[in-house]
Structure 1
Amino acid sequence: MRLRHGNVFRRATAVLAALLTGSALTGPAPAAAEPVDPYPIVTATVWAHSPTTAEYQPGWGYTVNSTDGAVTIQRTGVGAYRVILAEAATIGGITHVVPYGGGPTICTVAGSYPVLNGTDHIILVRCFGAGGAAVDSRFVATFTNVRQISQGRLAYFSIDQAVPTGVRTLPASLRYDSTGGTISYERLSVGRYRYYKNPNPASENGPIFPMVHVTAYGTSAVHCQADWPDGGEVYCTNAAGQPVDARFAVTYGSRVDLVGRATGTRFASGTLYRDWISGGSIGGDSYNSTLPGYGGASGTVLGTGRYQMTFQGTGTSYGTAFVNAHRGMFASDPHGYCVLAGWSPVGTAESIRVNCYTYLGVPTNLNARISFTTWPVT
């Protein structure tokens, strides 16, 4: 992919009122400066493209911090990374990560938090090979704490207990739902969870295919995947495919992009179904913000477990993509994980390439949920 440099979401510069002093001063006093929001809305996407470099700042284009602060990536050990979002200290929000490059790799979020008494936000990432050992890897990460949207439905949460007692309602700091409802979850069995949220508003039902992405949280080689978009179940396993209890984060969206924005960008999301492979094509469902409704996507089979999804009208030399494998309708369907192999514009469309694997890294055809979003660039 080509990096494109530029300023994105330039924050307006505050006007500093002059402080006037002196006993002869006449006229009205200057207005007080408007207080700065200590917990701003922050959105960020990160393409970590240099896995063995000790410290670097990736160029703008595929890596963007809405505060316009720098993004720094530090390698703290084999497969261990610290992402620093400058001037992005805030509360709440959700972080996701997915490996990039095409090989059988699992990445998790080991931590996501504002620096205590500081101005930066930190994301900790861990990456593992097919057998579960730590490995250096490229990855894509996203962060958002968007809490208001002009259209659609947005919900996100991270669970705080891998083994809760009964149905647990998450504290407000760990969840958000644009319908105003709470979010709760329960553990059904080892590594299997169900979450509960308000139903979609009537305006979001019908031919609007929802987006669902899930990321395992922790420092061990664990992968989590969701079932069907509105099924509300999450399954977590270790690198060998054995169920394990784990923390995780989920983002659910309808007519919103990867970081919760509903306007100002071009975005699309869809699912490719392994049962809908015919020749070199694979069918699925999708939503595209550039079209009046449902559709606008096509799937191509590039090899076993290798797909390309093309979203019409979203082609750009900047932006970011994401992928998760998801469960099928039948217990006998193979399970595993998918990674990003790359994305690029093709005319006015954007093509996202993904590779999917069973556990222990064997290529296989899986259901793949793929999303792409652009960034407004000045």
Structure 2
Amino acid sequence: MYARTAAPPNGPVRVVLLVMGMLAALLAAAIPTAGPAHAAVPDQYGFAYLDNPTPPPGYVPDPSRQWGSWASPSTNPVKVDQIGLGSYVVHFPQIASRQGIAHTTAVNRVPHWCQIAGWQPVGSGEDVYVNCYLPSGAPDNSSFTVLFTTSTGAPSTRTGSYGYVHSDISGAVLTQYNSAGAVNSVSKGATGIWKVWLPSLGVSTFAGNLQVTAVDPKQGARCKVSDWVPGASGQTVEVACHNASNAPYDTQWTLSYAYQRAVHGPAFPPKSFGHLWYNGSLPPLTNYNSSGATNTLGGSGAPFAVTMPSVAVPSDTAQATAFGKGPEYCGFPIPWGRTSGTVQLSVSCYGPGGKAVKAPFFTAYTSAF
């Protein structure tokens, strides 16, 4: 069957329609048309803090430190199962994706580090695998924060900029996102060294925040930012990874960069987020607070005390990454505190053997709201 078509108008009706068409064309030329629909940044995300390092099956971690982009996260929470000594699977509901990246940070009073072992969609959800270790490289139970986020779609015109990379050992990019619509790239250097190019992101001076996490299902590995060169045309970042013996080590890793954005990609909302980079000083544009307040750094480095005023809104999360050429790594000795709207983040960094050191680091905090 063929669709019926109306007969073309004639006489006065045709003249009126012609005039209306001309007016519509003039209005279209005078008024800019809306751009193409953009995918959300991020499309999907979830975060959690495992507050019990020996969780029973189907454990629901701290409700005030977990959230996600699925429907009703307050009544459909993240769950965690322990699958071995120091080994966990985090179940994020309804955000299944074969793309995206994950980050994790150990939360432990005793030196530990945690890394991502992998992630995969399972049904409608996303499972993220986390492994935690003692300084010796022996697997061990630990609390940790974990974040999964994925972004796609057209360039984002929102405030700031954001990008991420998941690289394999050779430097091949397994997945990437760039809010300017450019293509991020990675080149392999010596053992345990990669150079990342994030075109069109950030500004020509140090600004924003970086997070890096090792991805290795077989061996303990730690990854960090070892160098950063900002530029007007983009950001060049060097990633360094080490094994438990503190030797340079080739592994997969994830990296994310956020400038005036929350650590998982969005900007306004959430309304409450912040980040800080300590490299011996506090470069102004890397010390960001969405409320307009000023973050501060105190403590001797064992641990550092980061204060972010006016942004403490549960549910929330945080990440930390070490900076520098050596094998040092950083984490949280305790979960972040919240007092009268202020976030207090303790950051501890460790050298070989788990010795506390005053090492440079990045840290990032965000509320879901």
TM range (shorter): 0.7 to 0.9
Amino acid of the structure 1 residue aligned with 2:105: V
Q: 1:299 to 1:59 in 2, by over 3 A?
A: closer
- Matching residue of 2:329: 337
Instruction: Point out where structure 2 has 5 or more consecutive residues left out of the alignment.
Output: 1-38, 231-235
- Matching residue of 1:49: 51
- Matching residue of 1:267: 273
Q: Whole-Å Cα distance in 2 between the matches of residues 51 and 286 of structure 1?
A: 32
Percent sequence identity is 22
Superposed counterparts of 1:99-118, under 5 Å: 99-115=106-122, 118=123
Q: 8 Å contact 1:103–1:339 — kept in the other structure?
A: no
Q: Whole-Å Cα distance in 2 between the matches of residues 318 and 111 of structure 1?
A: 25
Q: Whole-Å Cα distance in 1 between the matches of residues 227 and 152 of structure 2?
A: 25
Higher Rg: 2
Q: Deviations over 1:235-292 (max 9, x none)?
A: 000122110111100001111101111012211111123x34xxxxx8874011111x
Superposed counterparts of 1:145-294, under 5 Å: 145-147=150-152, 149=156, 150-160=158-168, 162-164=169-171, 168=172, 170=173, 174-200=175-201, 204-205=202-203, 209-219=207-217, 220-229=219-228, 230=230, 231-265=236-270, 266-273=272-279, 275-276=280-281, 285-291=286-292
- TM (norm. structure 1) is 0.77
Q: Deviations over 1:47-84 (max 9, x none)?
A: 01111123211242201122134311000010010111
Residue 221 of structure 1, CA deviation? 1.1
Superposed counterparts of 1:293-372, under 5 Å: 296-301=294-299, 303-327=300-324, 335-341=327-333, 342-372=335-365
Q: Deviations over 1:168-196 (max 9, x none)?
A: 4x35xx11111111122121101011012
Amino acid of the structure 1 residue aligned with 2:347: V
Report the secondary structure of 1:114's partner residue: strand
Higher helix share: 2
Q: Whole-Å Cα distance in 1 between the matches of residues 308 and 200 of structure 2?
A: 27
Amino acid of the structure 1 residue aligned with 2:277: T
Report the secondary structure of 1:197's partner residue: strand
Q: Whole-Å Cα distance in 2 between the matches of residues 72 and 318 of structure 1?
A: 15
**Number of residue equivalences:** 311
Amino acid of the structure 1 residue aligned with 2:65: Y
Q: 1:317 to 1:144 in 2, by over 3 A?
A: closer
Tell me how large the CA RMSD over aligned residues is.
Answer: 2.2
Instruction: Point out where structure 1 has 5 or more consecutive residues left out of the alignment.
Output: 1-36, 277-281
Residue 335 of structure 1, CA deviation? 4.2
Q: Deviations over 1:196-244 (max 9, x none)?
A: 22133xxx42677211000000121110001344441000001221101
